[in-house]
Structure 1
Amino acid sequence: MRIAIGSDHNAFEMKESIKSFIEELGFEVLDYGCHSCEAIDYPDVAFKVAQDIADNKVSRGILICGTGIGVAIAAGKVPGIRAALCHDTYSAERAQLSNNAQVLTMGSQIVGIEVAKKVVYTYLNCEFSGGNSKRKVQKIIDKEKEYTQKSFR
């Protein structure tokens, strides 16, 4: 599985640690930046990660900013992407099992690195279960398509 990872400058150090951790787990990691503590705008990174997921270039994404909120909102603007803000393992598990979220977001100023690693581990080791959740996720997909079609009329 190819995993995209990205962050803003507020989360650069956490991104670097999480990137190494994901590689240790045996996944291929593509780093979308940022590549230093120099200030950048998080939407630029979030859009790139989300678009490559939508284009099937990578399987899933991990995005980190100060709170995880901004990158979740930005990634969710790319059609077809479901981004989930998770700061605990139960939410990370449900993001995948119940919601088939392709992007996990976290806040570097909210959780420490060891908790972040557990959250990432949980998220990457779960698969969408379908069942009753499949119907609910499909409703989200259908509504997004409806809104997307309206916006281009």
Structure 2
Amino acid sequence: MKLAIGADHAGFPLKEEIRGYLERLEHEVIDLGAYNAEPSDYADFAEAVGRTLIAGRAQRGILVCGSGVGVNVAANKMPGIRACMCHDTYSAHQGVEHDDMNVLVLGARIIGPALAFELVSSFLNAHFQKHEERFVRRLNKVLAIEARYMGETARH
């Protein structure tokens, strides 16, 4: 599978471990940075992974930051991106099967490499259950919400 991966400085060490794991499994990995542990901004990497998926250059993405929260929030601002932070294997596969999740988000300060590998494996081996009417109906509702609100100015 062709995968886009990105992380900020806090996620850099775990991203490197995951990249190596994916390459050992013979996936094609597009590494979008960070390329070192120098301070960086998580939003830049979330956008890079999202843009790569939107452009069709990768099938799925993986994002890593310290907690996972920052890249999760940023990635979900992009149309067509369904990023979910998962720190258990059930959510990692169920998010794909039921919700067509296309970006796995991990917190490098929350989990270690062994669990990350299990989560990545669960994510990559899962497939959206497109023949299950309730999951298609729900995804279509999510897509309709996205269509209604994308482009509106954020308020805070």
Structure-2-length-normalised TM-score: 0.93
Listed one character per residue, the Cα deviations across residues 56-115 of structure 1 (whole Å, up to 9, x for unaligned) are: 111100000001111011010111111010001001011110111110000000011100
Gaps of 5+ in 2: none
Alignment match, 1:12: 12
Structure 1 residue corresponding to 2:137, chosen from 135, 138, 145: 135
Alignment match, 2:51: 51
C-alpha distance in 1 between matches for 2:90 and 2:151: 35
Alignment match, 1:116: 116
User: What letter matches 2:66 in structure 1?
Assistant: G
User: What letter matches 1:137 in structure 2?
Assistant: L
Percent identity at matched positions?
A: 40
Count of paired positions: 151
Alignment match, 1:106: 106
1:148 Cα offset (Å): 2.7
C-alpha distance in 2 between matches for 1:98 and 1:127: 9
User: What letter matches 1:136 in structure 2?
Assistant: R
SS in 2 for 1:64: strand
C-alpha distance in 2 between matches for 1:51 and 1:88: 26
Q: CA RMSD in A?
A: 1.1
Judging changes above 3 Å, is the alpha-carbon distance between structure 1 residues 149 and 34 closer, same or farther for their aligned structure 2 residues?
Answer: closer
